[in-house]
Structure 1
């Protein structure tokens, strides 16, 4: 189906190196993988916006160390989710091409842990105020 015969389109060297060979998957699965990647990127952008908003607009709500901690936590989560989304997309694409089991989603536990830390700090601040 997706070999390198003369009748099938060829991919560049960089793409073949990145994807690691295998058979071209059904385009519907590739597009679903891409939509999932974009959903993770939207989540990353929401964390980025949240981190900026906390730093820019909550000076009268939180003490500076608390505000900085929450903002930095959200910004770091944004970076990790964006990077994790990229590696997740690539891992799923490679697995589909090799017809291998899909990799475990490591982004979700990371996201839950970071969100729990930020929420825990907010709970402490609210209870003290």
Structure 2
């Protein structure tokens, strides 16, 4: 077995007991799904800024910045959510509630509305 002191983050692996590996792997898959979402948001923001679209430059830059910022925040959320869930499993606590889905949905809704308005106002 791996020495828990050499695992990162130490603050996580030095508390509680090892959970069933299936649960840790499921937690890791959720983390990776959030990372994929983050990468897609970053790519969408970069593509929106890079492609020659017939949309106002300020609006394009604003929407691209919103997508990029959401991608960055989603990756931070991914790690924080993974950490909280893993710690809860290790200490026998209830799993924390999902906190990132509503802000993500709200941001994407606003971005979608902004893109729709920009396209229709050409």
TM-score (norm 1): 0.86
User: Residue deviations 1:48-79, cap 9 Å, x none?
Assistant: 1000100000x332110110011001000100
- In 2, the alpha carbon distance for the partners of 1:60 and 1:75 equals 18
User: Which consecutive segments of 4 or more residues in structure 1 shift more than 2 A?
Assistant: 13-16
Confirm whether residue 103 of structure 1 aligns to residue 96 of structure 2. Answer: yes
Q: Which moved more, 1:114-123 or 1:40-49?
A: 114-123
| Ranges in structure 1 where 5+ consecutive residues have no aligned partner | 1-7
Relative to structure 1, the CA distance from residue 20 to residue 112 in structure 2 (aligned partners, 3 Å threshold; closer, same or farther) is farther
Q: Cα gap change, 1:19/1:47 in structure 2, threshold over 3 Å: closer, same or farther?
A: same
- The Cα of 1:97 is off from its aligned counterpart by 0.6
Of 68, 71, 78, which aligns to 2:64? 71
Which whole-Å CA distance do the structure 2 matches of 1:48 and 1:114 have between them?
14
Instruction: Please name the residue that 1:35 is paired with.
Output: 29
C-alpha RMSD of the superposition? 1.6
* 1:10-89 aligned within 5 A: 10-12=3-5, 15-19=9-13, 21-57=15-51, 59-89=52-82
SS at match of 1:12: helix
Q: Which has the higher contact order (CA 8 A, sep 6+)?
A: 2
C-alpha distance in 2, partners of 1:126/1:91?
A: 41
Aligned length: 121
Deviation at 1:106, TM superposition (A): 1.2
